[in-house]
Amino acid sequence: MNFKNKGKCIIFSAPSGAGKTTIVHYLLEQNIGLEFSVSACSREPRPNEIDGKDYHFLGVEGFKEKIENNAFVEWEEVYTDNFYGTLIVEIDRIWGEGKAVIFDVDVVGGLNLKKQFKEDALSIFVQPPSYEELEKRLRGRSTESEDKINQRMAKAKTELAFAPEFDVVLINDNLEDACEKAKRMVVDFLEK
């Protein structure tokens, strides 16, 4: 894959509800040379989500068209007709601004990105303190049906097994501590 402006990447992955998005938002506020890679997806936006800011909402057909045109660094069909991926133009745009790319992606996406960017990427797996705590956090969101929560919990069991394949496992048992540890790791990696 050819990129115009090769740079560094920070990859955050975790099961849904582990806290990765909160940590990523914290890091973006720290002014340490990061810019968020907005993922593309095929699903409809949730009430509080904005196209181009939270995700590029492409719809199923639009997403499949981008796949055919090789527009993704990586993509995955997470559930039937529920696609997520990283657009090449998004990475080139960020590196072109002289910044490092920060990703907030699911576990398979994170591993795919690490394979793609190798030593230019730091992959961090955010792990909840326990499976029970993860379920409690998902329920606390009050944004998803019981069916969707059960689906996410089943997926989380599989995802937790991939933690050792990441460069770092960050246990999020205290959000403030996890944010500070993440910042130290990221700054150290960017300064190499």
CATH at 81: 3.40.50.300
Whether 3 is in a domain gets the answer no
Residue pLDDT tens, the chain, 192 long: 666 668 999 999 998 878 899 999 999 999 999 999 999 999 999 889 999 998 999 999 999 999 999 999 999 898 889 999 999 999 999 999 999 999 988 898 899 999 999 999 999 999 988 778 777 777 777 777 888 888 878 888 889 999 999 999 999 999 999 999 999 999 999 998
How many residues make up the chain in this entry? 192
| Residues of the domain holding 124 | 9-190
Whether 174 is in a domain gets the answer yes
Whether 4 is in a domain gets the answer no
- Long-range contacts of the stretch 87-90 (C-beta < 8 A, 24+): 87/40, 87/56, 88/1, 88/3, 90/37, 90/38, 90/56
Domains contained in the chain, number: 1
Tell me, letter by letter, the H, E, C secondary structure of 115-137: HHHHHHEEEEEEECCCHHHHHHH
